[in-house]
Structure formats: structure tokens, C-alpha cells
Amino acid sequence: MQKGASPVGGRVYSVYILASRENGTLYVGMTSVLAYRVYQHKIGFYDGFTKRYGVKKLVYYECHTNVWEAIYRERRIKKWMRSWKIALIEKHNPEWKDLVDDDGEILPLPIE
């Protein structure tokens, strides 16, 4: 198996940004099950940063089929200046809409 190849066919890894509100506190994460992970953030399942600061609104995400690319991208975005993260969000989601509907389904980015 190649380095970075997924052992499970078709697995998707998501890099995501949560916000407490428009221009509020930001959190960058990576997961293989985006809808469930965002749900965990929303209900405060784990004690930690997102629970402490009320960071529950999914405002950006991108998908990768290679876990190593996703990990690399997450680490890169985490190191970005705040203004770069905001620019990325506003390029794809200018109204800072929560990209999770009432049924917990992930909505497409308003602008691809």
C-alpha cells in the first residue's frame, strides 16, 4: 500500500473551521466523519477549547481523499495568521452561515 493510501476505499478526510460567531473565535480541525465531529462540538461532548469558547458553527470545510494531505493542510491552516483564515472563510462563505442544517447534514459551501 502506498504511503497515504486509505485502507478503506473512498474514505474522505475533512479539514474544517468552526467559529463562535462572525469574526469570532476560530478552531481548525480534521476528521474522517465531519457530520459526527461537528455534532460533538455543538453539544460540547468533550471538555476543551471549543466547549470553553462556544465554538460551534461550521463555517468552512474542504475534503481530501489522502489522510496525509488532510493532516498537512490542517497543520498549515492552524499556523496561518488569523486574517488569512478569515479571508478563506469569506471567500467561500461570505455570510458566515452555519454549514450544518437542522437535521445535522453538512451543507455545501455557498461559493466553491
pLDDT of residue 112: 81
pLDDT over 50 at 1, yes or no: no
Q: CA-CA distance, 85 to 8, in Å (whole number)?
A: 31
Mean pLDDT throughout 23-44? Answer: 96
Domain ranges of the chain: 13-92
User: Sign of torsion, CA 56 72 109 101?
Assistant: negative
pTM for this entry: 0.90
Average pLDDT, the chain: 92
pLDDT band with cut points at 50, 70 and 90 for residue 5: very low
pLDDT over 50 at 78, yes or no: yes
> Hey, what's the cell of 65?
481523499
pLDDT of residue 6: 45
pLDDT of residue 9: 61
The region that residue 98 occupies, defined by phi over 0 for left and psi between -120 and 50 for alpha, beta otherwise, is: beta
15-32 confidence digits (pLDDT tens): 999 999 999 999 999 999
Fold of 13-92: GIY-YIG endonuclease (3.40.1440)
